[in-house]
């Protein structure tokens, strides 16, 4: 992965001009293409209303106008384009970086780092959270120190992690795990504590032992809360991942963005940001799907988990009143 | 000016180990006695938390005294607590705290004003603006640190680029919560105000803001948490060299001054807890109609 570690090879290629002239998208062509799509959507909305829903059409219009505005103002030179990249250039650059394998290498590096940290947090936080939720006395004693540690921003631990674990993958993975650990832990505790007393007593009356209580009452009833915690932990972990890669990494999308900034390659900065956005969006949608699936499977009513921000916020600040 | 440029002054001597352990014990006893005498003054969670924290620090100190932990990698608590006192006494810590808090407060107030204003406007034009949601959601998924490089390109190295990304980090939680909170206003209440001859401004002041207040505050607390992550990231990436707790931590790491790294982490954690508690105090100040 030499390309992944160092972008200089790319810089040379650009200077010798081997990137330009090949498969570039002209701004006017881009504007025409977006306008055509917009026109097509409008026509199909006008003549065949059932073909495209109002919401989808609105989204189309907003995105097209946004892209047209972005491309158009830069093409007309209203803003300095050295520090901004139009969408056509971003697409060209993305294709180029994909062809070189540079983007894939960074995506793989970022994702493996993130998945390592996130699954580490998951594997530790959920069992520990269930234990702390079951033993209320222990949690009462441990909650204040845990809350203090939660308030230390994860990137602040990064330099300390570098001293402890050495330069490399270790500190980044550790910090990502730390960032997503607390939301998952606190939500798991919350979920376990909210389990219905009555249900537990029913199982016990029918002669079940504590393992049965755990399997049939506590875990199923805590699952939605745990999944919400996992989604919040994902958000924080993703934030911390980018921050760790910008500060201390030698590969990954954050590194790519920061390296491109150093070389004043604004298009690459935008490519990196778009990729981070796309990956984050995809994983968020995936987690939402999982959440919905488990809640529906439980036979419960789907309580607008994704639209009701209040509920999610309560979970973020779930130490409230302890 | 940095703490490590005075190696001849041994900062670890300010608080000796037996003295430190004694202080911890004494504080635990004082807290316990105060709780017994005036139960309202000290909450049980504070007492319990303090006892657990002192226990952990005691174990750590003991392990260091028995030379089971490396003093370079994991310095004992006495070392980094006295280092905080030392850095404060030479006047090194205050400017760091000041510049970090200044950046955070500046960006946070900016985010609060802009997000609440925009949130109220967007939910006022709610019907027309709903397609924009997909655009906002996409921008929201770009973590604030990813904007760091771009903001350095746009605003140059210095306060402005740090404040821009902190503002971005704080903005979206507050914005989303404001929109959500405003939508929680009951149409009946809005109509009541209108029936009694109030105009739209009255509706805003009497119904919408009191209802949205709690939600805005929740958003502000989440935004502040993200703001802390972002401000530390900006300082670690040396967006503005020579100022800020993040810079202090990173610089001490490069000098392998683990004591100062840990001092910085403790100070950041304390400031984060205090700012969160301040925002929590604002809750319940305004009561909406129910």
Q: Smallest CA–CA separation between A202 and chain B, in Å?
A: 32
Long-range contacts of B93-100 (CB under 8 A, 24+ apart): B93/B267, B95/B243, B96/B243, B96/B244, B96/B245, B96/B247, B96/B248, B96/B264, B97/B245, B97/B267, B97/B271, B99/B240, B99/B243, B99/B244, B100/B231, B100/B235, B100/B243, B100/B244, B100/B245, B100/B246, B100/B268, B100/B271
Flag whether B1 is in a domain: no
Output the pTM of the full model: 0.85
Q: Which of A107 and B204 is assigned the larger pLDDT?
A: A107
CA B132/CA A99 separation, integer angstroms: 33
Quote the domain boundaries for residue B206: 93-282
pLDDT interval class at A4 (50, 70, 90)? very low
* B181 and B115 Cβ atoms separated by less than 8 Å: no
CA A150/CA B224 separation, integer angstroms: 13
Q: Report the pLDDT averaged over residues A288-301.
A: 69
Claim to verify: residue B154 and residue B257 sit in the same structural domain: yes
Chain A CB contacts of B219 below 8 Å: 313
Q: Which of B53, B229, B262 sits opposite A243 (nearest CB)?
A: B229
Q: How far is CA A191 from the centre of its chain?
A: 23
Question: CA separation (Å) from B93 to A314, B245, B248, B267, B279?
Answer: 35, 8, 9, 9, 24
Residue A153 has pLDDT above 80, yes or no: yes
Claim to verify: residue B160 and residue B62 sit in the same structural domain: no
- What is chain A's mean pLDDT, rounded? 81
Tell me which of B133, B151, B233, B269 to substitute to probe the interface with A (most A C-beta atoms closer than 10 Å): B233
Task: Answer whether B253 touches A (CB < 8 Å).
Answer: yes
Of A180, A212, A190, nearest to A199 by C-alpha is A212
CA A209/CA A213 separation, integer angstroms: 7
Flag whether B102 is in a domain: yes
Claim to verify: residue B190 and residue B269 sit in the same structural domain: yes
CA B121/CA A250 separation, integer angstroms: 43
Q: Which of A149, A159, A284 sits opposite B141 (nearest CB)?
A: A284
pLDDT interval class at A301 (50, 70, 90)? very low
Task: Answer whether A152 touches B (CB < 8 Å).
Answer: yes
Number of domains in chain B: 2
pLDDT interval class at A315 (50, 70, 90)? low
Tokens of B160: 């402005």
pLDDT interval class at A177 (50, 70, 90)? very high
CATH number of the domain encompassing residue B176: 1.10.3720.10
Q: Which of A155, A163, A246 sits opposite B258 (nearest CB)?
A: A163
Claim to verify: residue B53 and residue B175 sit in the same structural domain: no
Tokens of A86: 């139009």
pLDDT tens track of chain B, all 290 residues? 444 444 444 555 566 777 778 888 888 888 888 888 887 777 777 788 888 888 888 888 888 888 888 888 888 888 888 888 888 888 888 999 999 999 999 999 999 999 999 988 888 776 666 777 788 888 888 988 889 888 888 888 888 888 999 999 999 999 988 888 888 778 888 888 888 888 888 888 888 888 888 888 888 988 999 999 999 999 888 777 778 899 999 888 888 888 899 999 999 999 998 998 888 888 767 655 54
Query: What is the reported pLDDT for A111?
Result: 94
Q: Smallest CA–CA separation between A224 and chain B, in Å?
A: 21
Flag whether B18 is in a domain: yes
Tens digits of per-residue pLDDT, A181-215?
A: 999 999 899 888 888 788 888 888 888 888 888 88
Flag whether B113 is in a domain: yes
Q: Which residue of B has its CA nearest to A63?
A: B135
Flag whether B273 is in a domain: yes
Q: Smallest CA–CA separation between B227 and chain A, in Å?
A: 9
Instruction: Lowest mean pLDDT of A33-47, A105-119, A275-289, B276-290, name the range.
Output: B276-290
* B75 and B57 Cβ atoms separated by less than 8 Å: no
Task: Answer whether A276 touches B (CB < 8 Å).
Answer: yes
Helix (H, G, I), strand (E, B) or coil at A18: coil
Instruction: Lowest mean pLDDT of A154-163, A310-319, B124-133, B189-198, name the range.
Output: A310-319
Flag whether B33 is in a domain: yes
Q: Which of B132, B229, B253 sits opposite A239 (nearest CB)?
A: B229
Q: Is A304 exposed, middle or buried (0-12, 13-18, 19+ CB in 10 A)?
A: exposed
Chain B CB contacts of A64 below 8 Å: none
Q: Smallest CA–CA separation between A34 and chain B, in Å?
A: 16
CA A308/CA A315 separation, integer angstroms: 12
Task: Answer whether B20 touches A (CB < 8 Å).
Answer: no
Q: Smallest CA–CA separation between B98 and chain A, in Å?
A: 17
Flag whether B9 is in a domain: no
Q: Smallest CA–CA separation between A196 and chain B, in Å?
A: 25
- Which sequence spans correspond to the domains of chain A? 2-100, 103-316
Tell me which of A153, A170, A182, A305 to substitute to probe the interface with B (most B C-beta atoms closer than 10 Å): A153
CB interface of A with B, residues 82-121, below 8 Å: 83
Cβ contacts of B245 within 8 Å, gap of 6 or more: A156, B96, B97, B100, B232, B235, B264, B267, B268, B271
Tokens of B43: 């909450």
Claim to verify: residue B184 and residue B131 sit in the same structural domain: yes
Q: What is the CATH number of domain A103-316?
A: 1.10.3720.10
Residue A35 has pLDDT above 70, yes or no: yes
Cβ contacts of B83 within 8 Å, gap of 6 or more: B3, B11, B12, B259, B260, B262, B263
Claim to verify: residue B28 and residue B161 sit in the same structural domain: no
Claim to verify: residue B101 and residue B161 sit in the same structural domain: yes
Of B191, B188, B185, B186, nearest to B209 by C-alpha is B185
Claim to verify: residue B53 and residue B161 sit in the same structural domain: no
A51's enclosing H/E stretch is none
3-class SS string, A196-228: CHHHHHHHHHCCCCHHHHHHHHHHHHHHHHHHH
């Amino acid at each position: 992965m030499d390309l992944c570690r160092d972008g200089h090879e790319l810089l040379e290629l650009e200077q010798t001009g081997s990137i330009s002239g090949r498969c570039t998208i002209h701004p006017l062509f881009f504007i025409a293409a977006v306008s055509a799509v917009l026109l097509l959507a409008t026509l199909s909305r006008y003549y065949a209303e059932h073909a495209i829903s109002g919401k989808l059409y609105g989204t189309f219009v907003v995105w097209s106008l946004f892209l047209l505005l972005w491309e158009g103002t830069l093409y007309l030179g209203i803003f300095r384009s050295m520090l901004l990249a139009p969408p056509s250039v971003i697409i060209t650059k993305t294709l180029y970086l994909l062809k070189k394998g540079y983007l894939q290498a960074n995506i793989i590096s970022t994702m493996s780092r993130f998945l390592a940290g996130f699954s580490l947090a998951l594997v530790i936080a959920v069992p520990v959270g269930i234990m702390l939720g079951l033993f209320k006395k222990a949690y009462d004693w441990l909650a204040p120190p845990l809350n203090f540690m939660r308030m230390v921003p994860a990137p602040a631990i990064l330099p300390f992690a570098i001293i402890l674990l050495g330069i490399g993958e270790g500190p980044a993975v550790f910090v990502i795990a730390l960032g997503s650990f607390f939301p998952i832990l606190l939500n798991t505790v919350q979920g376990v504590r909210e389990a219905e007393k009555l249900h537990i007593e029913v199982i016990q009356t029918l002669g079940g032992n504590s393992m049965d209580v755990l399997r049939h009452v506590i875990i199923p009833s805590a699952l939605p809360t745990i999944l919400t915690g996992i989604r919040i932990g994902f958000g924080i972990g993703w934030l911390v991942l980018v921050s760790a890669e910008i500060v201390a990494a030698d590969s990954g999308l954050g590194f790519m963005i920061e390296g491109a900034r150093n070389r004043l390659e604004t298009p690459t900065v935008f490519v990196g940001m778009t990729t981070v956005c796309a990956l984050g969006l995809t994983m968020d949608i995936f987690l939402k799907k999982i959440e919905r699936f488990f809640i529906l499977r439980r036979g419960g009513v789907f309580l607008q988990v994704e639209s009701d921000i209040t509920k999610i916020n309560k979970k973020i600040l779930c130490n409230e009143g302890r | 000016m940095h703490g490590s440029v005075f190696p001849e002054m041994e900062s670890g001597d300010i608080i000796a180990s037996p003295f430190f352990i004694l202080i911890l014990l004494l504080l635990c006893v004082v807290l316990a006695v105060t709780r017994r005498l005036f139960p309202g003054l000290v909450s049980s969670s504070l007492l319990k938390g303090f006892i657990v924290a002192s226990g952990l620090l005691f174990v750590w100190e003991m392990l260091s005294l028995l030379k089971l932990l490396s003093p370079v990698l994991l310095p004992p608590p006495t070392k980094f607590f006295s280092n905080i006192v030392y850095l404060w006494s030479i006047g090194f810590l205050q400017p760091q705290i000041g510049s970090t808090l200044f950046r955070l407060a500046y960006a946070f107030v900016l985010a609060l004003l802009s997000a609440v204003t925009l949130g109220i406007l967007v939910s006022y034009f709610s019907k027309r603006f709903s397609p924009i949601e997909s655009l906002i959601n996409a921008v929201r998924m770009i973590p604030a640190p990813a904007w760091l490089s771009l903001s350095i390109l746009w605003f140059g190295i210095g306060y402005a680029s740090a404040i821009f990304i902190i503002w971005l980090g704080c903005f979206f939680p507050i914005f989303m919560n404001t929109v959500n909170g405003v939508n929680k206003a009951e149409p009946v209440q809005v109509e009541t105000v209108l029936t009694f001859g109030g105009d739209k401004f009255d509706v805003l002041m009497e119904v919408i803001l009191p209802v949205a207040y709690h939600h805005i505050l929740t958003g502000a607390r989440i935004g502040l948490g993200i703001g802390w992550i972002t401000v530390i990231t900006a300082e670690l990436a040396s967006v503005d060299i020579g100022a800020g707790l993040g810079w202090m931590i990173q610089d001490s790491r490069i000098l392998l001054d683990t004591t100062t790294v840990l001092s910085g982490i403790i100070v950041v954690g304390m400031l984060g807890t205090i700012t969160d508690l301040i925002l929590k105090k604002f809750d319940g100040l305004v009561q909406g109609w129910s």
